[in-house]
Amino acid sequence: MNDLHSMNDFMELHWGYSIWEQSASTRIKKYGREFLDEIDEVIHFSGLQGLLLANCFSRDKDVLSQWRAYADDGKGYVVGFNAKELLGLPIRALQVLYDKEQQIKEATATIDALYQLKQEDQNEFKTLCGVFGYDLSAFKNPAFVEEKEIRLIHVLDFKKSNDFLKLVDGGGVYFGEERKGENVKYRIKQGMPTPYIELDFSNQKKLNPIKEVVIGPKNEVRETAISIFLETIGIEKVEISKSKASYR
């Protein structure tokens, strides 16, 4: 799971926050600026408290633009996972929304719901304001609509270290069991240190969430070779197919 700021869309998080601002502007007269500023303060505080990581998937397994951008120009592979099993990880799953009008509609409806909640439970109100701030990451620029993205998000905590801060993973519930956090690692991406963590999808080798592999349109490997490879290393009963894209 990678730092969301390091993704290929440089508007990550900024786009969602702009949708929040536009939605809030339609509710100033109804609820007052003070109420909206309270939500905004929690959103900003959540950003200071933790770093958002994401693991990004697609609902479409065979799209030419995806092959070209993410799979070695069509020479790579698509790996299909069992979504239900992945939900056992300490993550929040979000289906990305690309329609701007729908984004504003959903954000506005959330503001309305938060206003009602504030009258009933102040603590729950603040908690869900923080969740709303993270959920804004599910709003993306319409230009990326072909990706049909599902993203799993996870938050790292900032912890005081000497005269500054460091990142730590607080852990969470893995497949129904509370576990400690992962080691925070770094890779250098475009000259910058980029944090990430590795999550075990297999629940300590009890599960095999890989269900399908699609071979890229420019990849000349035989389907039988991939089947033998996976069975040999213990990843069994995986459906293998070839991309239908006519690309070379």
Residue 11 has a pLDDT of 67
For 152-174, the pLDDT digits (tens) are 999 999 999 999 999 999 999 99
Beta strands in the chain (DSSP E): 2-3, 50-58, 77-81, 92-95, 149-161, 164-168, 172-174, 177-179, 185-189, 192-196, 210-215, 239-242
Is 220 inside any structural domain? no
Q: How far apart are CA 88 and CA 106, in angstroms?
A: 26
Q: Is the pLDDT of residue 25 over 80?
A: yes
Q: How far apart are CA 9 and CA 93, in angstroms?
A: 19
Is 193 inside any structural domain? yes
Is 157 inside any structural domain? yes
What mean pLDDT comes out for the span 4-23? 82
Say what the pTM is: 0.87
CB neighbour burial string for 144-158, b if at least 16 within 10 angstroms, e if fewer: beebbbbbbbbbbee
Q: Is the pLDDT of residue 151 over 90?
A: yes
Is 240 inside any structural domain? no
Listed range (56-60, 178-182, 187-191) with the worst mean pLDDT: 187-191
Q: Is the pLDDT of residue 140 over 80?
A: yes
Is 236 inside any structural domain? no
CA angle 51, 177, 129 (to 5 degrees): 35
Identify the bridge partners of residue 57 per DSSP, sorted by sequence position: 150
Q: How many domains does the chain have?
A: 1
Assess contact for 154 and 91: CB atoms under 8 A: yes
For 88-113, the pLDDT digits (tens) are 999 999 999 999 999 999 999 999 99
Assess contact for 104 and 98: CB atoms under 8 A: no
Is 148 inside any structural domain? yes
* Band (29; pLDDT cuts 50, 70, 90): very high
Is 209 inside any structural domain? no
What mean pLDDT comes out for the span 112-120? 95
Residue 153 has a pLDDT of 95
**Which H or E run contains 230?**
helix 223-232
Backbone angles phi, psi at 244, to 5 degrees: -90, 0
Q: What range does the domain containing 179 cover?
A: 2-59+89-201
Is 38 inside any structural domain? yes
